[in-house]
Amino acid sequence: MKILASQDHQAPAEGDTRSVALANDVDALALALDGVERVDLHFPSFTDGRAFSQAFLLRRRRGFKGDIRATGDVLIDQLVQMQRTGFSSAVLREGVDAADAQRQFEMFPGFYQGDAVNHQPIFADKAATA
Amino acid sequence: MYQYTEFDKTFVHQRSRQFRDQLERWQAGKLPEDDFRPLRLQNGWYVQRYAPMLRVAVPYGEIASRQLRVLATIARDYDEPEAAVFKAAMDGQGLLGTTFLPKNCAHFTTRTNVQFNWIPLSKAADVMDLLASVDMHGIQTSGNCIRNTTTDALAGVAVDELIDPRPYAEILRQWTTLHPEFAFLPRKFKIAISGAADDRAATGWHDVGLHMARNEAGEIGFKVFVGGGMGRTPVIGTVIREFLPWNQIMNYIEAIVRVYNEHGRRDNKYKARIKILVKSEGQKYIDDVEEEYRQIMEIDGGPHTVPQAEFDRVAACFVPPVLADIPDADPAALAASLQAQAAEHVAFGRWLKRNVHAHKNAQLRAVTLSFKRPGQSPGDATSEQLIAVADLVDQYSAGEARVTHDQNVLLPWVHASRLFDLWQEAKALGLASANVQLLTDMIACPGGDFCSLANARSLPIAEAITQRYQDLDELDDIGEIDLHISGCINSCGHHHSGHIGILGVDKDGKEWYQVTLGGSDGSDLSGAAVAGKVIGPSFSAAEVPDVIEAVLGTYRDLRESGETFQSTVRRAGLDPFKEAAKTARHKEEAVATA
C-alpha cells in the first residue's frame, strides 16, 4: 500500500474521467467504473468508517483493479484496516508523521477473518493444511 | 473451555504490543488525545471520573481458574490509585455523602466482562501483557465496534438446553476480532446468543439476538433478531430471519453490520444504534440485508461459511470435563442425601434451593457464588476473594467458572456429593448468601462514584436496599424478583429490564431516581421482553428504599396464591403501585444531599 503526504496527492480535476472522488454516503455498487483507474474515498473523520465498506465493495464485490485511495482524516493507526479492506493508497492527514507507519503493517502475522485482499478466513487455511 | 492455539496466543500478545506502542506514542506527544482515544477504547481503556477504567473481555462469560488468579494479581498490584488521585476521589464523592470507595478489586459486569476502576494508564501496557499471558485481553470491549458476544451462564449444562451456544459464540468471537471493515461503526454493536428454551441471555435487548433451534428437517440454525437496545430509546429486537442455517452465521451478520455501517446515523450519537435504523427503515432494512447477504453468497462466494471441520475443532473444546476421583453415583440417592443434609442444616437447605441449579448431568449441579451482600458493592470481588474462588473452581468445578449477567460467578461442574463441602467453604468466604434471584441479588452499575457518564450514584442505593432486606425469610417471601439499578440512561445496570428498575437522573444538579416496574429481559420468569414503566416523578436517594418497601408491600397485599412479583404487577397494573409509591415520599421540602 502506497502512503502519500498531502502535497503528493491531487484531487481529480474537473472532467477527469479516470479518477473519481466519492463522498462516503454514496453507493459504491452503483458507481460507473468504465475507464476509471482511481477512486478516492473519503474519511470526514477517522471515526466515520463508511469508506471501509465502500472500499470493500469496490475491491471485492466489483473486482475493481485500479487504485482505491484513502483521503481525509487518515491516520497511521487505521492503515492496516484500510489495506485489508482494499485501499491501495492513503493520503496522510496534514501533520501526521509517516515514520511509525511501516511498523503498523508488521504488528500481526495474520488475522482471523478473510478480507478484500486475502479472501479466505484463517480456518480455510487450516482446512487446506489439514 | 476454548483452548488457545499458537495463533490465538500470538494474536493477543501482538495486540498487547500494539497497544503499548500506541500508549508510548501518546505519552511522547506523538499521538494526539483524540486520535488515541478510540484506540485505547478498543482495548478496553476508558478514562472515568477520577481514574481510568479497564474492561477485560470474558468471552461469553467463560473463565478459567488461572485467569481468575491473574485478575486477583491485577486487583492486588495494579488496581491501586496514587494517593493524590484517591484523595481527589474521596473528597469529590465525599461532598455527595460517599464514605467508602472500593479499590483493589474486580467488578463483574452485565455483559459478563470484568472491570477495574483504578489502574493508572502508565501501567496499562504491563496489565495488558499480564492478561495476554493467560489468553485474556480487552479487545473491542469498548468503542464503536462489535463487542463481546454474551450467552447464558448455564450454557452447556442447562436442563432446558436445545443446543450448546458456546462453540458458535467462540466462532463469532474470532470472526469479529479486529474485523477491518467494522472498527468504526456509527455506534457500539452487541450480540447475544441463547441455546435454551428459556432465554436467559436477554437476547431481545441486543443489537443482534440469536436463538438456536432446529428446523423441521432437524438441522441446526438460528432465529435472528435485530435492533434491540436500551438507553434513551429502549427497543426490543425484531425478527429478521426465522431460520438461518448454522454455518451461515458470519456471512449473515456481515450483511447486517455492513448495511448498518453504511446507513446508520452518524449525525447524532444518541440516534446512532442499529435499533434506530431498523425502526426507521423497517422492511427496507431487512430487504437491504437480504440483498447484501445474497451478494456475499453468490458474488463473494460466502467465504465465511463455517466448515464442519472448523466447527468440530472448536466444539471439541466444549465437552464436559472428567471430574477426578469422583465415583459415579445414583442421582436419586444423591438427591435423597441432599434432602437429608438440608433437613439437618436449615442454612444449607436455603442455599441448595436458591444458589444451586439443576444440571443436564443428573449427578452434577451448577452453583452460583453470590457476590451480593451488605458492605460490598454488587458484583465486586476483592483480590483475596478472587484467589479463594479460583481455588474453589479448581477443587469443585474442574477449573472452569462463568461470570454471570447478574454479576455473580457460577461453577458449572459441581458433583452433587460435594455440595455440602462447597457450601461450607463458600460460607466461610461470605459468598454463600442464599439470595440468588431474590431482591438483594440485584444488578447495579458502578454509577456516579466512578463513572463520569452517571447522573447519580448507584452504589449507596444498592447498599441501602441490601441493608434493609437482610432477613432471608422476608427475601424468600418476596420471592424471585429482578431489581436493576443504573446510574444514568446509558443503562449499564439494565434498569429497563428490571421487574423493579431504578434510574439515576440529574434534577437541578442533585441526585434523583426514577423508579420503573414491570420490565423484562425476555426470560420465562419475566415474560416477554419489554421496558419497565415509570411509576411517578423521581424520588430522592433517601426515599428510594421506602418506595421499594411500599411497592413490595403492595405486592404482598395484592398477590394471589403463588404469584411472583412480576405476575402481580402484570395482573394488577401499575396504579396500585403508583399510589403506594406516593405514600413513600418524604414530607421534607428540600432533601439535604444524602
Averages of pLDDT over runs of 10 residues in chain B (594 residues) are 97 98 95 96 96 97 98 98 96 94 96 98 97 98 98 98 98 98 98 98 98 97 98 97 98 98 96 97 98 98 97 97 86 95 97 98 97 96 98 98 98 97 98 98 96 94 97 97 97 97 92 97 97 97 97 98 96 98 81 50
pLDDT value of residue A70: 98
pLDDT value of residue B594: 47
CA distance A87 to chain B (A): 11
Statement to judge: residues B410 and B458 lie in one domain: no
Rounded CA-CA distance B515/B109 in Å is 21
Structural domain boundaries, residue A18: 2-129
B383: nearest Cα among B51, B44, B72, B5: B72
pLDDT value of residue A98: 87
Statement to judge: residues B453 and B562 lie in one domain: yes
Element (H, E) at B356: strand B356-357
CATH for B362: 3.90.480.20
Name the one residue in this structure whose C-alpha cell is 405514600. B583
A76: nearest Cα among A108, A105, A40: A105
B75 lies within 8 A of chain A by CB = no
CATH for A80: 3.20.20
Look at chain B and report how many structural domains it folds into.
Answer: 4
Task: Count how many pairs of residues, chain A against chain B, have C-beta atoms within 8 Å.
Answer: 108
Rounded CA-CA distance A119/B299 in Å is 12
Each residue of A33-71: pLDDT tens digit? 999 999 999 999 999 999 999 999 999 999 999 999 999
pLDDT value of residue B507: 87
The ipTM assigned to this model is: 0.97
Radius of gyration (C-alpha) of chain A in whole angstroms? 15
Mutation site, B12, B140, B262, B314, interface A, largest A CB count within 10 A: B262
pLDDT value of residue A126: 60
Select the residue of B10, B14, B261 nearest A50 (Cβ to Cβ). B261
Average pLDDT, chain A: 94
Q: How confident is the model at residue A127 (pLDDT cuts 50, 70, 90)?
A: low
CB contact under 8 A, A108 and B21: no
Statement to judge: residues B178 and B309 lie in one domain: yes
Judging contacts by C-beta atoms under 8 Å, the chain A residues touching residue B177 are: 112-113
Q: Which three cell numbers stand for residue B21?
A: 506502542
pLDDT value of residue B327: 83
Rounded CA-CA distance B119/A55 in Å is 39
Least trusted range by pLDDT, from A18-32, A113-127, B485-499, B543-557: A113-127
Nearest CA in chain A to B258: A53
Q: Which residues make beta-bridge pairs with B402?
A: B62, B410
Rounded CA-CA distance B175/B177 in Å is 6
Statement to judge: residues B54 and B124 lie in one domain: yes
Element (H, E) at B513: strand B510-517
Specify the pairing of strand B443-444 against strand B483-486. Answer: parallel
Select the residue of B14, B144, B183 nearest A107 (Cβ to Cβ). B14
Statement to judge: residues B291 and B418 lie in one domain: no
More confident residue, A96 or B523: B523
Radius of gyration (C-alpha) of chain B in whole angstroms? 23
A128 pLDDT exceeds 70? no
Instruction: Note whether B432 and B176 are within 8 A (CB).
Output: no
Examine the fold and report which residue of B428, B453, B479 is the final residue of a domain before the chain moves on. Answer: B428
pLDDT value of residue B151: 98
B168: nearest Cα among B153, B151, B182, B183: B151
Q: What sign results for the dihedral spanned by CA atoms A57, A58, A59, A64? A: positive
Count the Cβ atoms, other than its own, within 10 Å of residue B480: 17
Structural domain boundaries, residue B211: 166-315
B401 falls within a domain: yes
Statement to judge: residues B356 and B311 lie in one domain: no
B534: nearest Cα among B521, B547, B549, B552: B547
Residues in contact with B369: Cβ distance below 8 Å, sequence separation at least 6, in sequence order: B355, B389, B392, B408, B409, B410, B411, B426, B431, B432
Element (H, E) at B510: strand B510-517
Statement to judge: residues B195 and B60 lie in one domain: no
pLDDT value of residue B261: 98
Rounded CA-CA distance B418/B339 in Å is 14
